[in-house]
């Protein structure tokens, strides 16, 4: 009779607390992982917003400082003049049909 009693004692004294402890550890680790994941997601979203704002500011800075309106107008005039000269040369070389 000591066989089944020892088995029941072993299950109640050792196995049930061990399984309960493992279940509790798993539950706690799952909760901590979920909390960490949420904090990482929030920090990632904040960093993405900051990067987008920085990129928008950089684009605006480039648009203001690196390309000026008079320079663009000068380039446009030069390109137009070249295109008109090319057109005149093409019109001049085309024989009448």
For a pLDDT cut of 90, what percent of the chain falls above it?
59
Taking residues 57-85, report their average pLDDT.
89
Query: Residue 1: which pLDDT band, with cuts at 50, 70 and 90?
Result: very low
| Each residue's pLDDT tens digit, 37-52 | 999 999 999 999 999 9
- In angstroms, the Cα distances linking 45 to 5, 36, 48 are 59, 14, 5
> Strand, helix or coil at 67?
coil
**To the nearest whole number, what is the mean pLDDT of the chain?**
89
Show the tokens assigned to 22.
């493992």
Say what the pLDDT of residue 94 is. 67
- Locate all alpha helices (DSSP H) within the chain, ordered by sequence: 2-10, 16-65, 69-93
Instruction: Looking at mean pLDDT, say which of 3-17, 19-33, 59-73 comes out highest.
Output: 19-33
What are the two backbone dihedrals, phi and then psi, of residue 68, each rounded to the nearest 5 degrees?
-100, 155
């Amino acid at each position: 009779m000591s066989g089944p009693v020892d088995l029941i004692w072993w299950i109640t004294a050792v196995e049930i607390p061990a399984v309960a402890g493992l279940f509790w550890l798993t539950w706690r680790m799952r909760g901590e992982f979920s909390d960490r994941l949420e904090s990482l997601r929030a920090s990632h979203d904040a960093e993405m917003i900051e990067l987008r704002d920085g990129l928008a500011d950089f684009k605006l800075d480039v648009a203001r400082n690196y390309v000026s309106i008079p320079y663009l107008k000068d380039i446009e005039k030069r390109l137009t003049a070249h295109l008109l000269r090319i057109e005149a040369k093409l019109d001049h070389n085309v024989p009448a049909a």
